[in-house]
Amino acid sequence: MFAAVSSATVLGAHGQPVTVEVHVSTGLPAFAIVGLPDEACRESRDRVRAALLSSSLPWPQKRITVNLAPSMQRKGGSSLDLAIALGVLVASGELPQAALAEFGFVGELGLDGTVRRLPGIVPLVGALRELTAVVPRGCEAEANAVTPAWRSARDLAELVAVLRKQLPWPDPPAIACRVPVASRGDMSEVRGQGLARLAVELAAAGGHHLLLVGSPGCGKTMLAERLSGLLPDLDQAEALVATMTHSAAGVTLPPSGLVTRPPFRAPHHTASLVSMVGGGTAAMRPGEVSLASGGVLFLDEMSEFPVSVLDGLRQPLEEGVVRVTRARASVEFPAQFLLVGATNPCPCGLGAAPGACRCEGAVRQRFLRRLSGPLLDRFDLRIHVTAVGSDDLLSSEPAESSASIAQRVQAVRTLALQRGVPSNARLSSSDLDRWATLSPNALAMVRHAIEIGRLSGRGVQRIRRVARTIDDRMGVQGALSEQAVASALAMRIDVAPLVSAA
């Protein structure tokens, strides 16, 4: 007897459809799974058998062969459990094949027959295409984010009864509709910090990577956390990509099932390279850069991150995707994130003010060497955050709120969209020549910066993009104003050791 059941597995952030073929024949009782299953997948043999028996369903004392087609691809995880169990039932004549025809099944089985939830429901359901997805109870919201055609199952016995048409499909629990996600604080709570506030707004409006340098306690983290609140909602396509990635990584999704707000990820500085860019031996899991895709990746204490991790960011920063290649498979994850870094200027933290630092020259150089060169160059905005004065700190007058800033951000983003790019940070050189020409005065200023060695060729492009955002914010059209270029230059400090030679 033969059965075929549709299911799916996750590879990277994408699901791939799998057809579970089950063949039951006479012979010595045996149960074999073929088709490149990994460890967790092969163990489903024991889970399936136990689940069937505890659900008072018969286990055929025959020779059972399960093939996971297409058989060249590796299959990982436990998402095939449910499909294998149903396949065995069909092949042994307990269920009609026709009852399963319009469904695809994903879910892990407990030994007592419950259908357990598992990470990656969104990509899994996505891979089932036009079939009606049957997902574990509790995953309805995630499934609903992809398709309206879904059913949920609590345990195997119930599902078999439904498929035998002995029971109707149970009513699923209500799915929360879009609820506003609690944001991480409001910009009105940030006192003083005129320059830093502007830089955060520009970063959000133009998609410019931002580096905050300042002594401990001056509010770098506070500013970074509020940045994601200024970004506009994700559009439908971005939301789906973000949801897939989050789901594949097993990150808890918002109640509505769809990630609609730009994510904010702040990995600790002990993060490994694999956790950052994605990969791993057992499963290709998306890394922090992909989880932050569409939102903000915040690296606090950036100079404490291992050099290899920081260098690993360079390629995703440039290309917007990260390709992880292993012997078994090669996958591509999204990586369109806004990088926000925060660092002390030196180990003692006081080095920003001339003459205040207590660190040895060599110690400072070692501290900043991790940040030097190509990575630093990718930060369009590099500002020095100073401690807030007591007047500002104690003032009860609230500053401008996030909502009000977000309106300006949205306006600037709209202008960028009219130029054919999602944000000004993505303007290409030809776009710059069209949309961001330099006025004569501004040109003189840029020329001076090049002559004193502050700007490289790449730096000039970045200054122009930031200046475009500044002018967009102020509603200035045409060639870049001198003010915008001066501000852009002022917001691009050198993070070289300040103890320079005479």
Residue ranges in contact with other proteins by CB under 8 A = 192-196, 198, 213, 345, 351-357, 361, 383-386, 389, 444-445, 448, 470, 474, 482-487, 489-490, 493-495, 498-499, 501-502
Q: Which two tokens stand for residue 111?
A: 């030994």
Backbone angles phi, psi at 385, to 5 degrees: -95, 120
Whole-number minimum distance, CB 482 to other proteins, in Å? Answer: 6
Whole-number minimum distance, CB 359 to other proteins, in Å? Answer: 9
Rounded Cα distance between 437 and 265, Å, is 35
Neighbours of 489 (CB within 10 A): 20
CB nearer to other proteins: pick between 137 and 465? 465
CB nearer to other proteins: pick between 159 and 446? 446
**Coil, strand, or helix at residue 266?**
coil
Strands (E), 26-131: 30-34, 63-69, 103-105, 108-109, 115-116
DSSP 75: B
Half-sphere exposure (Cβ direction) of 237: Cα atoms closer than 13 Å? 2
Rounded Cα distance between 116 and 135, Å, is 9
* CB 247 within 8 Å of CB 321: no
CB nearer to other proteins: pick between 115 and 484? 484
CB nearer to other proteins: pick between 94 and 301? 301
Max Cα separation, the chain?
90
Whole-number minimum distance, CB 211 to other proteins, in Å? Answer: 11
CB nearer to other proteins: pick between 245 and 343? 343
Whole-number minimum distance, CB 436 to other proteins, in Å? Answer: 17
CB nearer to other proteins: pick between 13 and 352? 352
CB nearer to other proteins: pick between 28 and 452? 452
Whole-number minimum distance, CB 341 to other proteins, in Å? Answer: 15
| Paired residues of 484 in beta bridges | none
Rounded Cα distance between 101 and 148, Å, is 18
Whole-number minimum distance, CB 154 to other proteins, in Å? Answer: 59
CB nearer to other proteins: pick between 246 and 464? 464
Angle of CA points 401, 402, 406, to nearest 5°: 125
Whole-number minimum distance, CB 365 to other proteins, in Å? Answer: 10
Cβ partners under 8 Å of residue 128, min gap 6: 6, 7, 8, 15, 17, 104, 106, 147
CB nearer to other proteins: pick between 177 and 501? 501
Whole-number minimum distance, CB 276 to other proteins, in Å? Answer: 28
**Coil, strand, or helix at residue 118?**
coil
Neighbours of 277 (CB within 10 A): 22
Rounded Cα distance between 48 and 41, Å, is 11
Whole-number minimum distance, CB 305 to other proteins, in Å? Answer: 21
